[in-house]
Amino acid sequence: MLDSILYPTDFSDCSTKAFEYVKALCRSKISKKVVMLHVVNRKRVESMAQGVAWFGETALEFEKEFKERLTREAEEKLEKLAEELRQCTDVKTLVEYGNPVKLILKTAEEENVSVIVIGSHGRSNFEEVLLGSVSEEVVRKAKVPVLVVKRDMRDVKTD
Ligand SMILES: Nc1ncnc2c1ncn2[C@@H]1O[C@H](COP(=O)(O)OP(=O)(O)OP(=O)(O)O)[C@@H](O)[C@H]1O
Ligand SMILES: [Mg+2]
């Protein structure tokens, strides 16, 4: 019996595919609870803020607004996904701000999850990369088993 599942998502094609496995595990009543997590990447927001600082707005103002917008959007997307699970399991949704790997690992410990279900790739989805940097570090450092759902090769970027 898996007590609870951590499903970290960046809303990419591959993490959407991983969600199908989360749903299947819940439907088969293997787990009691799913924690769904999106991390708004602080580094990404800060580097965008540095870029727009030239256009009048201060970097700090931009960072705050951009972070709030991404957080709101992520909350809405997570809520939609959570609805699909609520018939079969308890669901908790979390949107955090910071380093995705650190926050995925921290959440896994704090929520005492039994397994992490993650995509092999995310938004970058580069063809030649075996595992994205987030999934690779999570596999290396997590203390619980990690179910890595492989990408669909049709979604791969080939530029
Ligand atoms: N910000 C995030 N919040 C929650 N989960 C994430 C986040 N980023 C990635 N993940 C999870 O990790 C999986 C792999 O994504 P990852 O970012 O490692 O690949 P990538 O975007 O293709 O490569 P990279 O980010 O190294 O350029 C995703 O499918 C998702 O499950
Ligand atoms: Mg990524």
pLDDT, tens only, 88-116? 999 999 999 999 999 999 999 999 999 99
Instruction: Tell me, using a 6 A CB cutoff, whether residue 123 lines ligand 1.
Output: yes
Low-confidence ranges of the chain (pLDDT < 50): none
Pocket lining: 38 vs ligand 1, CB cutoff 6 Å: yes
pLDDT of amino acid 55: 60
Pairing type for strands 115-119 and 146-149 reads: parallel
Whose tokens are 């595992």? That residue is: 131
- The pTM assigned to this predicted structure is 0.95
Q: Which of 13, 22, 134 to mutate to test the pocket of ligand 1 (most atoms within 8 A of CB)?
A: 134
Centre of ligand 1 from the C-alpha of residue 19, in Å: 14
Classify domain 8-155 by CATH architecture: 3-Layer(aba) Sandwich (3.40)
pLDDT of residue 60: 82
The two structure tokens encoding residue 1:
């019996």
CA distance 123 to 152: 13
Q: Contact, 2 vs 146, CB < 8 A? A: no
User: What confidence score (pLDDT) does residue 53 get?
Assistant: 66
